[in-house]
Structure 1
Amino acid sequence: MKGTTKFYLRLILFISIISTLPIILVGTFSYIKASTALYDKVIEEKEQSINQITSNVEHILKTVDHSLTYFINSSFLNETLKAPMDAVQFQLYRQVKQELNHLQTFDTGVEDALLLSLEGNWIINNSGLFKVTTNEIQEDFGHYFELPFNSMWILENNNVELRQKYGIQDFSNYNVSLVKKLPQNYSNKNGLAIISIPSVNLAKFLSNDIETETLMILDNDFRIITHNNIALIGENFANEDFIANLIENKTESKGQFTTTIDNADYTVTYQKSNYNGWLYLSLISNDILKKETTPIGLFTLTVCLSVLFLSILLSWIGSRHLYRPINELLNSIMTSFKASPTTTKQTIDEFEFIHERIHHLAHENNELEGKLQGQIEQLKQLFITRLLDGHLSEEELKLKYLSYQYPEKWKRLCVISLQIDSLEETKYNNEQYDLLLFAINTIAEDVIPKENRLTPVLRRGVQITPYISNHESLEEYENAVDQIVNELQNKVKEVLEIPVSIGVSPPFTKLTEAREAYHESVEALKYRLKFGSESIIFAKDIGQGTTIKTYFPESIKNELFDVIKLGEREKVEQILHDLISNIFSKDLKVKQYEISLLRLLNDLIVLMQTLGVELEDFNDKKSLFDQLFELKSVNEIEEWFKRVIIVPLVTSLEERINSQYKNISDKIIHIIQQEYDSDVSLESIAERLHYNPNYLSSIFRKETNISFSEYLSMYRLNMAKKWLVESDLSIKDIAEKFHYNNSQNFIRSFKKKEGLTPGKYRELHSNKKLD
């Protein structure tokens, strides 16, 4: 042999495999069993390790949580939050400070504790007492009140300015803070209790060997709470690939899976805390996990390679004798095909050589036939397109029609136009519209026999099929067309599960009339606006009158515009539905429907301009009129008016009305707070603001949820309590300031609302100030 052929190599390889397969199988099985046992042992150790870390960390967190809960549930804390923490309450401050110090123990790692009173406007932490304003509380601590739970562990990035402002020591860039809203059992929160643990203090529970294993704890947003590489604390891992696996397995509280990070395989061991939802993770390279199995694999590989080498050697010697007859036959065949024996044997299998030659000749023949057939189909489609456009002369039409072997005889012709109604409630989207048309075109070719049609084509989003009939009578023709279009519609519904409508032109006999018939069938499709989805519309059944007398329900339109101005969204949608339904309930032509809809659109645009709503707020790539003309059904038209015009207009008006209401309520409250000690009334304010009193009353109640008189009485009561505690005014003087006829009326009113007389109230709060 002048060269080594593929079959010869396969023969050697086959014999080698047969002889060495048992050894390879036994060696592989032994290696897999041993390595699997070692691997499972290491994996189990990692699960136990992550479980131990979870237990240790949660022990610290629960200890801190229980201690803080015990503190905030103490009997004196609710009263403390209401206290102003003046100088006379120094003992109370010392008691609070002492309790906060008790919360900070060495074993828990707590570095700071903070108590905030929204009512007293003060903060107590390790650095002492700080008096703050309501605005400062909202700016510096307002985000805590927006937390979804009354008690919650969160990861915080240390705010340098905030820590300097309140004297908070800076132990770490990130803190793990337990935030509890106070009081715990009341919906109205007027305080906060915050315990902070530096994230680095939790890192001591993790292994420091970052070369072999990565350990971390993530919060619910997949931010790193702590890490055995503390430089990564605070990083967000939400976009990491292995996090996607955790999200998919969110029903599992713990487990393991394999992922790829930087082209390396890692085993991820995770456990989700039932206490606070934190995620405890261990990432370790599979190469490290499998390191102990390497010696077993090397030994098994050495044995297998040795046996394989011996088998190949023996196979090579025996195969030379077996291959001799095949080599002689191959040389004979290559000589017949005038191929180089040496080159052929070096590049191709011996038996494939014969198969390739025969297959090559058959493939070239099929390819030539396919190209010819594809070109004929394209030429047919071009012919039908030009026929429907009326671009063929009679001589050219006759010549090409016969060349494409279409039926030569017919009694009648018609054009069938099919269009998709809507894709809204189907499994498809608008991007697949053209693909669906191609599928429908194929279905039309299958449903309508070849001898009864010309080539179906697609034009401007419509599937067109010229239909050929040889029925003698008009009734037989009509029955045949009705049967074929119903079968076509049902087949599309069955296969593609989409609704379609079909328009059929009147019958004609000359091919030159195809252009007019095509336009009539497409025009018939427009009557879906009247007949609805999945209609079959024959052009002959549509009236051909030229008089256009439009109909428009002016009274319903006026009612619609009135509720739009009032911003009554639910009524707007119902009246719009009534208006559209009323228009299409009339027996009109498509042009008449279009004129009515254009009138409605134009009137809505005028209304927007009158109300000062900019048209640019509702812009699109296409004009409103173009969008309207593209709609195919009554439901689409109603939904388009609602989505594009009505809802944005009502929303804009609602925002304007709400802003006006808010401004009026603020003015009323300001007048009450400035003139509460005068004879202020809703009527006097209405006269000053130039509004009707009843209108102001409804606006004020809507914005504040209480009446004007209730708010005025409540504000005066609060000012009376303030004067009783902070001033030396007599009860009689206070009653006169609030225009009571006598002090007894004031005393009865005060006792009814507070449960005690003004004198008792003053005496009680004076004693508290002395204490």
Structure 2
Amino acid sequence: MNEACWQEVDMKNHRINYFKKLVLFCICIGIVPVITLGYFSYAKSSALLLEKANRSNAEMVEQARLRFEQKLKMVDNTQTQFISSSAVNMAMDKKLDSDNYLLYEELIQSIYRLQTYEFGLSEVYLANLNQDWILDSAGRRTFAQHSLSGSFMEYAAVRKASFWTTLKSPLFEESNPLKWNMVLVKKIPINSIRPLGLLVAVLPSVELNKMVPQRSEPGDFYVLDDKQQVIAAGNPEQVGLNLSNDPFTVRIEQDNLEANQFQLDIHNEPYSITYRKSNYNDWIYVTKVHIEDITKESRAIGWVTVAICLGLLALILVLSLQGSRKLYLPIRKLYDIVLKSPEMPNLSAKSDELYWIERRMKVLLGNEAHMTQQLRDFFVHKLLQGAVSVSEISDRIHSRELDTWRQLRVVCLRIDTLEGSKYTEMDKDLLLFAINNMVGELAPARMRLNPVVINEFQVTILGSNTDLPDESKAETYALARNIQEAVRDFLKLPISIGISCLFTDPIDAPRAFQEAKEALAYGIRLGDESILFLEDMYDQSIPDYMTFPQQIVRELTDHIKLLNEKNAFHLLDEFMMVVTARNISHQEFQLYLLRLLSDLLRLYQDLGGNLQDIAPNEKSVINELFMLKSAKEIVVWFQSSMIKPIIVFIEKRRDIQYTRISDMVMDIIHREYSTALSLEICGIRLNYHPEYVGRVFRKETGFAFGDYLSRYRLHIAKQFLVETNMTVTEISEKLMYNKPQNFIRYFRKLEGVTPGQFRESFHAKNKEISS
């Protein structure tokens, strides 16, 4: 198969690829509404059925509660009437022996009447706690004879006058439904916390189950007591179960509501729970229905909906195929034209016809725009560097590639600092190109040439057709302010902008570029984020005969010598304020900085420092100083690189000198303690002022000169007392005391004993040790 055939096959594959997309798009337009409609109709019907089932369950629970409470209240009322009778109250004080036979018969008959079929009570007990008898349908028995006496005593201890509770009958097996009973306990007298007797009515759970509503729908029904134990249920076998740990009973306890409906997953199966709490006896009436049982009717509706949707989808598919063929015909013709282009790249089955049509057009337009942009940028670079001839400028003006502005300015932009930002020096080039793009968007194309990046500057040539310099200056300033704010907002960077003087001929652009950079240099005095016009920086017509502030520098060096860092920093700030406030050129400003640097280096050298320690390479130090971009940076540099290192050097040298002076004074005291020593004598020998010697000695030793001398003489006196037989008078004379009494008084003041007592005590201790 030749190349033309393969190309034809590829073209058909592309055509089929796009045709599929077109068909799929048309199908989706029809499918989405149909599926959406079917889904919402099914969801709505399911929701209505669920709502209906929940409402039915709620009504059933409420009806069951009313039916149960009606019967329970009837039992409660009859029992209340019985214990309010005179016979019951009279029996509380009787033993019911043969002497009270009539009362016994009356009570037995009343108990029989209470056990009517209507109430369904299996037994009624009348217990007398004080007289020790229990009366029921079987007759009279004592508490010791009755099997339920223990339960009755527990009921008596409950702090309620009337309550319902469960009773587990010992007469039946565990699986027998009759095993479980509900009992109504009433204390006699009524509302008595400490009763004389009890009336206990037993209602079997079988009777309660008769009142459970018969459900035609699937689901479970429970009646729970206050301990979540089943006392009645649709399934009698569940009576007696404790459901306190079941998920739905736990949720009911957490809700703490009188009635509610909710959905809950039990063993990974969804259920709908409906419950109602009784205010009468705290019983809970609950229905538990599986969600699938509720929504089974909606599934039939769902199948009908699916059938209708499938029919509609088949119709949409046929219409989509027919419509897509007609829509595809113009695309095929256009693609055939592009395919015949000799520059058409190899086709790929991953892309369709429109992709290649679009790609071909973008390549053509992009190449043209990119080349045009590069040519314009290259022209601006050449213009700023003085590599454009007058004839080339004229040709571009005639071809309207260069506008004929009446006034021109060069705007030069520089990043002040990256400190405090998230950028590093490695990002600087990218940041400059980002700023260059921002300038291209902010400055209208009609008033500028293409903005470019040259070294560490972003440069733009602005043009204006106004004849008023002030108006042109105002427009330029407004644009510079907008650029500065945009960079601050988007890049979080401070920038300074230098603006050249006006010029009219584009051939003067190199000179204007240098003027803009010189204007930026003046920003050192004004701080970050400055906008500087060169004509505002230095007016040569106003001479300023400023002399170097030598007095400030002299005071600065004096405070450095005195180790007063705070005042030294203050004088440095004052120096910078003086030199930045005057109308001097940038070259003069740099000369003043050099003189200050020279004075500080000379001070360091005069103090005995090695210049290699603070300035290893003098040229690099000067370059580092001139690279700083603001007065604040210059001040910080002088503080950290010059003043602080010099002060640290002086402090270290002073500490060494203090130690040497202190050691020399102590040596004099140790050698000449028996002579008339004084600070004046030491000062003369050491060639320092006595007050300075005393101050240094106190700082290094913590003692005044006289105090240290007296203590050392005392130390020598103790040696004389224990090592020689010299008398106290001889010792005091040797140690330069005027009178022995003065020596004895000083010795006693510091040691607490006289010299003689000290000697005797020492000799006595030696004798004890030797013996």
The TM-score with structure 1 as length reference comes to 0.50
Q: Higher Cα Rg: structure 1 or 2?
A: 2
